[in-house]
Amino acid sequence: MSTAERIYTAGDILELESRGESYELVGGRLLETGMSQESNWVGFRIAHLIQVLLDRERLGWIFTADHPFDLFGDGSSIRKPDVAFLSNARLPEGPGDTGITTAVPDLAVEVVSPNDRVSDLKVKLEEYFSAGISLVWVVHPEVRQILVHIGGNRTPVVLTETDTLTGGDVLPGFAVPVADIFPPRSVGGDAA
């Protein structure tokens, strides 16, 4: 006798969220989410830097890793980018209170943690491209690099600490040195 694997839904995601649990949903399967301390810090830093621009320019809305997006509007893929930006054009009324946003972000940022699997990240990126996300930044704190995918291009532009990260057409006016996104190299203050 075989036991059928449970198929989860968007409603299950909301129920788990109400209990403080964080999951994404892919093809009816739950995927637990979580970030390392450094990845969490980098994600917050990126969100803050974007918010500074949004406070000035009123281009749209910023969301962090705890906010779910129904990428295809049918409940089949509910993802939580570590940082997401939605322009006013895609979210003209501002964020609602339904819990899951069905508008597709203009920008999705994934900050890679040591426990992230490359295969899972590839699947997530393919979903982002298929959903029509215009700009994807994959941030690698360990090597202090950012991979920039523009317009669904699977071949990214690789930025290092000597480069500047820009928002292009998605976030006009956003320009930050890549080095400013990562924590200082000697956080604990080495004794001289």
- Look at residue 187 in the predicted model and tell me its pLDDT: 54
User: pTM above 0.85?
Assistant: yes
- Look at residue 192 in the predicted model and tell me its pLDDT: 43
- Look at residue 151 in the predicted model and tell me its pLDDT: 87
SS in 3 state form for the chain?
Answer: CCCCCCCCCHHHHHHHHHCCCCEEEECCEEEECCCCHHHHHHHHHHHHHHHHHHHHHCCEEEEECCCCEECCCCCCEEECCCEEEEECCCCCCCCCCCCCECCCCCEEEEECCCCCCHHHHHHHHHHHHHHCCCEEEEEECCCCEEEEEECCCCCCEEECCCCEEEECCCEEEEEEEHHHCCCCCCCCCCCC
Low-confidence stretches of the chain (pLDDT < 50) are: 189-192
